[in-house]
């Protein structure tokens, strides 16, 4: 059963969304949306105690290293932030990425990939692959790299892994997907089933964002909607989603498609949780538990991949 804290936060999210709508936010003004998303992210807590933050440029992309004094040297989580491929930044996801890094005992590299509609598909995929190659060129072993991301960032993790597979590049040790946006056709039943439960997302807004990202490409393109891709030979997948989010079906379909391809999959649908609830790690017991589970999976994946 969801905690009292989760019920309270979910209610506050719904009220905030309604308040923004009443203020007449111009949804076509992308810079305004990005600014408000950044402001929201800045209110989600401080970096965990002892976290070291270092900015850098990766192929021209602003990026951040997040690490702790007990972080193991060569292990890296490449974290790709969510935001419908249109917004999101290091500011919005720094704290979540750091918490996952701490739980996993790994450094985190958090890049700001190019965003739509200025840079539609495949720009984000190209950037994710570029950052991964940058890590390899600097001596990090593929067995010591894990892809992780939320929402659009989770779908991007799968698309980047598919691209690497097609290029015969070494694949990361695992892929971690939080509330993955992996079906941009919005064909899953949860888009309607959870319409009134989801405090954040609406099917209409998601479809609008999908069209902006896809540009002139079909929404069922396997690199845009990985639920339609052949996932053969991908590394183990770890997927978390909530039973109150319209993207629940995306997570379930992605897991099913991976299993058909013989990929090892761990899927957990959290009862009463919403889209990317893990970002409330400082306030929500379910978020802290979810991050601990992510950490256990990451540590096990690093160990198993190293043994190979």
Over residues 153-182, the pLDDT tens digits come to: 999 999 999 999 999 999 999 999 999 999
- Fold (CATH) for 4-20+52-307: Rossmann fold (3.40.50)
Closest CA to 38 of 114, 90, 85, 105: 90
Low-confidence ranges of the chain (pLDDT < 70): 1, 4-28, 306-308
Distances (CA, A) of 31 to 80, 87, 92: 20, 9, 15
The sign of the CA dihedral 108, 111, 117, 121 is negative
pTM of the model: 0.93
Rounded-to-integer distance, Cα 239 and Cα 103, Å: 16
- Copy the structure tokens of residue 83: 């935001």
Residue 55 falls in the annotated catalytic set: no
164 membership: H or E segment, kind and range = helix 152-166
Looking at residue 27, its pLDDT comes to: 46
Looking at residue 32, its pLDDT comes to: 84
Options 6, 67, 151, 249, the catalytic residue: 151
Distances (CA, A) of 217 to 79, 124, 162, 192: 26, 14, 17, 25
Looking at residue 24, its pLDDT comes to: 47
Rounded-to-integer distance, Cα 183 and Cα 253, Å: 8
Q: Is 257 left (phi over 0), alpha (psi -120 to 50) or beta?
A: alpha
Looking at residue 16, its pLDDT comes to: 61
Q: How many CB atoms lie within 10 A of CB 278?
A: 25
User: Cα(first)–Cα(last) distance of the chain, in Å?
Assistant: 39
- The domain limits of the chain are 4-20+52-307
């Amino acid at each position: 059963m969801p905690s009292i804290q989760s019920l309270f936060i979910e209610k506050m999210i719904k009220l905030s969304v309604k308040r923004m709508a009443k203020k007449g936010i111009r949804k076509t003004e992308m810079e305004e949306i990005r600014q408000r998303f950044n402001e929201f992210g800045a209110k989600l807590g401080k970096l965990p105690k002892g976290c070291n933050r270092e900015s850098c440029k990766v192929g021209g992309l602003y990026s951040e290293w997040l690490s702790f004094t007990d972080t193991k040297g060569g292990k890296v989580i490449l974290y790709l932030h969510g935001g419908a491929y249109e917004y999101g930044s290091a500011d919005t996801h720094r704290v979540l990425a750091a918490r996952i890094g701490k739980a996993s005992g790994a450094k985190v590299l958090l890049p700001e990939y190019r965003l739509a509609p200025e840079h539609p598909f495949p720009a984000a995929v190209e950037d994710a692959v570029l950052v991964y190659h940058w890590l390899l060129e600097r001596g990090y072993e593929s067995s010591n790299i894990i892809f992780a991301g939320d929402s659009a960032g989770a779908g991007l993790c799968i698309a980047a892994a598919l691209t690497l597979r097609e290029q015969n590049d070494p694949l990361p040790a695992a892929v971690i997907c939080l509330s993955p946006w992996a079906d941009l056709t919005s064909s899953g039943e949860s888009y309607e089933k959870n319409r009134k439960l989801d405090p954040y997302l609406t099917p209409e807004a998601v479809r609008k964002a999908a069209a902006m990202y896809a540009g002139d490409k079909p929404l069922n393109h396997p690199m845009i909607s990985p639920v339609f891709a052949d996932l053969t030979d991908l590394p183990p997948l770890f997927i978390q989603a909530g039973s109150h989010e319209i993207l629940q079906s995306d997570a379930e379909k992605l897991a099913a498609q991976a299993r058909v391809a013989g990929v090892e999959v761990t899927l957990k649908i959290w009862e009463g949780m919403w889209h990317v609830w893990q970002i409330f790690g400082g306030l929500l017991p379910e978020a802290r538990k979810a991050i601990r589970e992510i950490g256990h999976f990451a540590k096990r994946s690093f160990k198993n991949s190293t043994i190979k």
